[in-house]
Amino acid sequence: MAKTPDLKRPRVYEVAKDLGMSSEAVLQIVRRLGAEVKNHMSTISTDIVEKVKGEISQKAAVVKEEQARKHEIELQRAREERARAAQTAAAAAAAQPAGQAHSAPPRPAPPPRPIGGGPSGFSGRGPRRRDRKKKKVVDEKLVSESVRKTLASLDASSGRRRHRRREDESGEVALEEAKVIHPTEFITVAELANLMEVRPQEVIATCMRLGLMATMNMRLDKDSIVTVADEFGFGVEFATEYGAEETEDETEESSDRLAPRAPVVTVMGHVDHGKTSLLDYVRKTNVIAGEAGGITQHIGAYDVELPSGRKICFLDTPGHEAFTAMRARGAQVTDIVVLVVAADDRVMPQTIEAIDHAKAAGVPIVVAINKIDLPAARPDLVKQELAAHGVVVEEYGGKNVCVEISAKKGTNMDRLLEMILLQAELLDLKADPTRRARGVVLEARVEQGHGIVVSLLVQNGSLGVGDAFVAGKNSGRVRAMFDERGHGVKGAGPSTPVEILGWSGTPAAGDLFNAFNDEREAREIAAKRQALHRESEFRAQKAISLVDLKTQITQGEISELNLIIKGD
C-alpha cells in the first residue's frame, strides 16, 4: 500500500508533453527546484509539478506584461502620427486662397478627421479594428518566442531559433551575436555543438547543407569548424593545445602574494669557449670531466647559492653545431643570457646563432669574454666583432654589460655574478609560490632502476611530491623529486630545476608542464591530447589513388613504384 501513491506520480516526459516543452527543459527546472531526478522516465510528485507550472506561468505572465506595455507604446505612437497627419492636412486646407471659398467642391479637410481618430464614424474605427486584430495575432507569437528565450538556458533546442531572431532585431540585440568559441582542432560534431549550445542534429544538418556528410562522433578539421561556426554566428579562436584553458583559468596573481624569485640564467656560446668551465667555478665542481670529449651534450640545470645568500639558476646549453634546438629552448625559458666568447677564438658561428636566439626571445645579454689569461687573447677585437652583430657593449656606448673573465683562474668571476644580479634587479623578477606549479621540460631520459627521469624548470608556483601533472601528451604523479646533485627534495619553488619520477610516458623537451589538483583530470587531458595527436597524424597521411599515381608518372615525378607482394 505504501507504493500506491508512487504509481500515480507523473513522469517527467508526461509533464513535458502536457506543457509543450522538451523533457530536458523540465528536468533542469525540476533539478533547480531541488528534486532528485535521473532522466525523463523519473517520477515527480504533484507538488513539484505544480511548482514547475507556476514557475512557467510566472515567466509567461512577465513576458505578456512586457509585450502589453510595448503594444501600448506602439498604439500611442500610432495615435501621435495620425494626429500629426491631421494637423498637417488642416494647415494645408487653411492655406488655400480665399477666392476658392465659393466653389462647389467640398472642402478637403473633413475626410482626414475620421482617420485622425475622431470619436464617431465607421471609417475611423475600421482600420483600428483590423490593426488591433493583426496586433493580437503578432502578440501571441511574440509571447511564445519570449517564453522560449526566457527558458533558453534550460532548452538547448532553441539555440538556432534565438540565432535567427536576433538577426532580425535591433542593433543593440545584434551585438550579442559577436560570440567567440575556443575549440581545438579535430573536435567532434557533438563537442562543437556543446560549445555553441545547440543540438548536435542542427550541426549535422548544417554540415549536410554545406555538402559535408557528418555524424555526431565525426571529427572536423579547422576549415570545417570555422565554416560551421560561422553559420551559427560564432567566431572561432583555436586553442593551441587541449586543456590550455584549464591551466590558465587562475587569475593574475595579486601583488600581496608575489615574491621575488631567482633569475634563470642561460650560458650560451660556441663550442669549447668555456661555458661549462664557468659553471664549474661557480658551483665548485668538475662537470666537464664527466662529459664525452669535454663537450656538453645536454641541457644542464643548476641551482647555485652565492655566498651572499642569493640564488641563481644556471642553464648550461651545448655549444656544438648539432645542438641548435637545445640552444633555442634554453633561450626561450631564461631571463638573462650570458654570452661566453673566448678571447683567443673571437666570434664564431655558434656565437652568432646564440645572439640570434637571445634576440628572438627578447632577453638581455651579458657578455663574458673568457680566457683573457691566454697570451693570444684579444678582447678588444672580440668587442668589435660583437658590435658588428648587434651586441654593443657599454664601453662602446651600448646597453650590453661586458665582463672580461678567466673561468679557469677565477678572474673577475665575482664581478660577473654581480652584473647578473644587477640585471635581475632591473627586471624585477617575481612569482607566486602559492599557486599550482607551472614550468617547462628541459630534457627527458630513461634510467635503469628509475624509469623515465625528466629534468624540468619550475617557472611559477610550487611543486611537491604527490602532485598530479600534465606535460604535452603525458601525465603522472610526482613519485620522487631530486636536485641536480641527486639529493631528494620534497618541494620546489619558482626558478628551481628538479628531476622528477612518475611519468606515464616520455615527454618531449620544451613541453609545457602544469600541475593539477586532481590526477583524473590530468589523465583526461593527456588522453585527449593523445587522441588529437593521433587524429592529426592520421589526417596528415594522404592516401594516393591510381589516377594520381598515373598523373605523377606521366609528369615524370615518379619513376619507380615500390610494391609489397604478399603470396605463397
- Please tell me the predicted confidence (pLDDT) of residue 441: 86
Reported as a pLDDT band with limits 50, 70 and 90, residue 551 is confident
CB count, 10 Å around CB of 452?
Answer: 18
pTM exceeding the 0.95 threshold for the entire prediction: no
Round to whole Å and give the CA distance between 395 and 325: 32
User: In this structure, is residue 87 part of a structural domain?
Assistant: yes
Say which range, 61-65, 153-157, 450-454, has the weakest mean pLDDT: 153-157
Distance of CA 151 to the CA centre of its chain: 29
- Indicate whether 45 and 187 sit together in one domain: no
Mean pLDDT of 399-424: 88
Residue 194 has pLDDT above 80, yes or no: yes
- Indicate whether 285 and 419 sit together in one domain: yes
Q: Which helix (H) or strand (E) holds 478?
A: strand 474-482
Report the CATH number at residue 516.
2.40.30.10
User: In this structure, is residue 102 part of a structural domain?
Assistant: no
Reported as a pLDDT band with limits 50, 70 and 90, residue 366 is very high
Q: Output the nine-digit C-alpha cell for 95.
A: 492655406
Mean pLDDT of 230-255: 67
Round to whole Å and give the CA distance between 151 and 162: 11
Q: Which residue has the higher pLDDT, 539 or 460?
A: 460
Q: Which residue has the higher pLDDT, 42 or 525?
A: 525
Mean pLDDT of the chain, nearest integer: 75
Round to whole Å and give the CA distance between 199 and 340: 61
Say which range, 8-17, 159-168, 188-197, 558-567, has the weakest mean pLDDT: 159-168
Residues 6+ apart with CB under 8 A from 160: 198, 199, 202, 232
Residue that finishes a domain, picked among 410, 430, 450: 430
Residue 292 has pLDDT above 60, yes or no: no
User: In this structure, is residue 68 part of a structural domain?
Assistant: yes
- Please tell me the predicted confidence (pLDDT) of residue 112: 47
User: In this structure, is residue 561 part of a structural domain?
Assistant: no
Mean pLDDT of 538-565: 73
CB count, 10 Å around CB of 221?
Answer: 13
- The DSSP code sequence of 485-515 is TS-B-SEE-TTEEEEEEEESSPPPTT-EEEE
Residue with cell string 653545431: 321
CB count, 10 Å around CB of 553?
Answer: 13
Q: Which residue has the higher pLDDT, 140 or 188?
A: 188
Q: Output the nine-digit C-alpha cell for 382.
A: 672580440
Residue 81 has pLDDT above 80, yes or no: yes
- Indicate whether 529 and 419 sit together in one domain: no
- Indicate whether 137 and 81 sit together in one domain: yes
Q: Which residue has the higher pLDDT, 458 or 99?
A: 458
- Please tell me the predicted confidence (pLDDT) of residue 115: 44
Reported as a pLDDT band with limits 50, 70 and 90, residue 203 is very high
- Please tell me the predicted confidence (pLDDT) of residue 547: 76
Mean pLDDT of 490-499: 89
Residue 160 has pLDDT above 50, yes or no: no
Q: Contact 210/182 with Cβ under 8 angstroms?
A: no
- Indicate whether 411 and 312 sit together in one domain: yes
Residue 417 has pLDDT above 80, yes or no: yes
Residue 108 has pLDDT above 70, yes or no: no
- Indicate whether 190 and 131 sit together in one domain: no
Residue that finishes a domain, picked among 406, 430, 454: 430
- Indicate whether 368 and 468 sit together in one domain: no
Residue 296 has pLDDT above 50, yes or no: no
Residues 49-53: contacts with CB under 8 Å, at least 24 apart? 49/10, 49/15, 52/15, 52/19, 52/26, 53/19
- Indicate whether 144 and 162 sit together in one domain: no
Q: Which residue has the higher pLDDT, 4 or 446?
A: 446
Q: Contact 475/506 with Cβ under 8 angstroms?
A: no
Residue 379 has pLDDT above 70, yes or no: yes
- Please tell me the predicted confidence (pLDDT) of residue 531: 83
Round to whole Å and give the CA distance between 147 and 124: 35
- Please tell me the predicted confidence (pLDDT) of residue 501: 92
Express each pLDDT in 17-44 by its tens digit: 877 777 777 787 888 887 878 777 778 8
**Could you give the C-alpha distances from 470 to 209, 297, 330, 432, 447, in angstroms and in order?**
40, 26, 21, 20, 21
Residue with cell string 508512487: 6
Residue ranges of alpha helices (H) inside 122-220 are 122-150, 159-168, 171-174, 189-196, 200-209
Q: Taking the C-alpha atoms of 339, 340, 345 and 348 in order, what is their torsion angle to the nearest 10 degrees? A: -30
User: In this structure, is residue 442 part of a structural domain?
Assistant: yes
Say which range, 318-332, 347-361, 437-451, has the weakest mean pLDDT: 318-332
- Please tell me the predicted confidence (pLDDT) of residue 317: 66
Reported as a pLDDT band with limits 50, 70 and 90, residue 321 is very low
How many residues make up the chain in this entry? 568
Mean pLDDT of 202-226: 86
Residue type, 372: I
Residue 530 has pLDDT above 70, yes or no: yes
Express each pLDDT in 9-21 by its tens digit: 788 888 888 777 7
Reported as a pLDDT band with limits 50, 70 and 90, residue 327 is low
- Indicate whether 201 and 117 sit together in one domain: no
Report the CATH number at residue 323.
3.40.50.300
Residue that finishes a domain, picked among 238, 270, 288: 238
- Indicate whether 144 and 180 sit together in one domain: no
Domain assignment of residue 496, given as a range = 438-540
Residue 342 has pLDDT above 70, yes or no: yes
Mean pLDDT of 468-480: 90
- Please tell me the predicted confidence (pLDDT) of residue 152: 52
Reported as a pLDDT band with limits 50, 70 and 90, residue 512 is confident
- Please tell me the predicted confidence (pLDDT) of residue 318: 62
- Please tell me the predicted confidence (pLDDT) of residue 368: 92
User: In this structure, is residue 567 part of a structural domain?
Assistant: no
Residue 67 has pLDDT above 70, yes or no: yes
Say which range, 35-44, 231-240, 521-530, has the weakest mean pLDDT: 35-44
DSSP at 57 = H
Mean pLDDT of 123-130: 47
- Indicate whether 81 and 204 sit together in one domain: no
- Indicate whether 125 and 177 sit together in one domain: no
User: In this structure, is residue 501 part of a structural domain?
Assistant: yes
**Could you give the C-alpha distances from 523 to 445, 472, 476, 505, 526, in angstroms and in order?**
21, 11, 7, 12, 5
Question: How many domains in the chain?
Answer: 4
Q: Contact 319/269 with Cβ under 8 angstroms?
A: yes
Say which range, 178-192, 381-395, 441-455, has the weakest mean pLDDT: 178-192
With 0-12 / 13-18 / 19 or more C-beta atoms within 10 angstroms meaning exposed / middle / buried, residue 555 is exposed
Q: Contact 478/469 with Cβ under 8 angstroms?
A: yes
User: In this structure, is residue 249 part of a structural domain?
Assistant: no
